[in-house]
Structures are given as C-alpha cells and as structure tokens.
C-alpha cells in the first residue's frame, strides 16, 4: 500500500499470501482503526483502491522498526550473547 498511492485490493492479497476473505477482514479492522481508507477507482468503479492514512503511515514506521529490531535481537541471540 505504501509503494503506490492507492492499490487495488486484488493486488494486495497475492503480495502478502493471504486469501481474499481473510484480507477483507484485516482491511476492515485497519479501516475501523483509521489506518487505511478504501475508495472506488475513478477509472473503474468495480475496483476498490486502498490508501494508507497518516495514522497508517505512522503505524507502518513503528512496524518496520519493530521488525528491524527483532532481526537484530535474533542475530545477537544466534551468536550467543546479548
């Protein structure tokens, strides 16, 4: 979602390896929490585009830092010290 301004729902599911039904529930939760917005595609009303909101962008940064930090911890633990 962050790479493009408005991504079709049909493009998201394969990228993250989720079934469309599971993704729909996840997107509903993200929308309820203000992390994303869904809007109809102006060029094709059958498509729905997903946009990150400012809150979604903030949460993405937190998630990326968390994953990065976890990677560091796992590498340190693999070596045997912290």
Give the pLDDT of residue 81: 62
pTM (2 decimals)? Answer: 0.75
Note the pLDDT of residue 35.
96
φ, ψ (nearest 5 deg) of residue 34: 80, 15
User: Which helix or strand (DSSP H or E) is residue 3 part of?
Assistant: none
> What local confidence, expressed as pLDDT, does residue 51 receive?
94
* CB atoms closer than 10 angstroms to residue 3: 6
pLDDT value at position 59? 94
Query: In tens digits, what is the pLDDT along the chain, a chain of 82 residues?
Result: 656 678 988 888 888 888 877 888 899 999 999 999 999 999 998 889 999 999 999 999 999 999 999 999 998 888 776 5
């Amino acid at each position: 979602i962050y790479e493009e301004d408005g991504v079709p729902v049909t493009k998201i599911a394969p990228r993250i390896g989720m079934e469309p039904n599971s993704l729909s529930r996840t997107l509903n939760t993200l929308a309820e929490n203000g992390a994303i917005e869904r809007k109809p595609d102006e060029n094709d009303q059958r498509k729905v585009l997903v946009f990150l909101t400012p809150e979604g962008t903030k949460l993405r940064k937190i998630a990326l830092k968390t994953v990065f930090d976890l990677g560091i911890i796992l590498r340190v633990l693999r070596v045997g010290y912290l």
